[in-house]
């Protein structure tokens, strides 16, 4: 999770929402990513999506069996869908997302009985650090908006 936090800090420095993700297989990071939505002007450029793309390229397969995805924020529905389809074996996240979280907060897609694919979830890992980074980022955004008025 510390590596995912490092990725989130990269996003923060780029004035992107500070979310980071890494994918680990056999104790080695095979993919990493951080939000690049504003940079790329791409609504799908979430940290998890970019980490999955990087891991798939490094492994030369879209099937990421036996891998663990660590992300600093509970994934949204899009990212959770990609996690399931990539056959990631375990999901670990830091902070809960009460607005868009699809792993228990708003929806529960990762362990949905109606789907034939499920991924076990561990939430709340380094939750305080992950939450503080997001809170600090949004406080700065609000401060910039107020100073521009």
What are the residue numbers of the active site? 48
Could you tell me which residues come within 8 angstroms of residue 143 by beta carbon, excluding any fewer than 6 positions away? none
The answer to whether the beta carbons of residues 123 and 74 sit under 8 Å apart is: yes
Fill in the DSSP letter of residue 42. -
The answer to whether the beta carbons of residues 52 and 83 sit under 8 Å apart is: yes
């Amino acid at each position: 999770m510390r590596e995912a936090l490092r990725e989130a800090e990269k996003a923060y420095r780029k004035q992107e929402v500070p979310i980071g993700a890494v994918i680990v297989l056999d104790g080695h990071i095979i993919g990493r990513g951080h939000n690049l939505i504003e940079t790329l002007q791409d609504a799908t450029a979430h940290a998890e999506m970019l980490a999955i793309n990087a891991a798939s390229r490094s492994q030369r397969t879209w099937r990421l069996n036996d891998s663990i995805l660590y992300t600093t924020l509970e994934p949204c529905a899009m990212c959770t869908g990609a996690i399931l389809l990539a056959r990631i074996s375990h999901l670990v996240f830091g902070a809960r997302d009460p607005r868009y979280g699809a792993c228990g907060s708003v929806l529960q897609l990762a362990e949905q009985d109606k789907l034939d694919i499920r991924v076990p979830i561990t939430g709340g890992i380094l939750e305080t650090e992950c939450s503080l980074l997001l809170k600090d980022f949004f406080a700065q955004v609000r401060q910039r908006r107020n100073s521009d008025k």
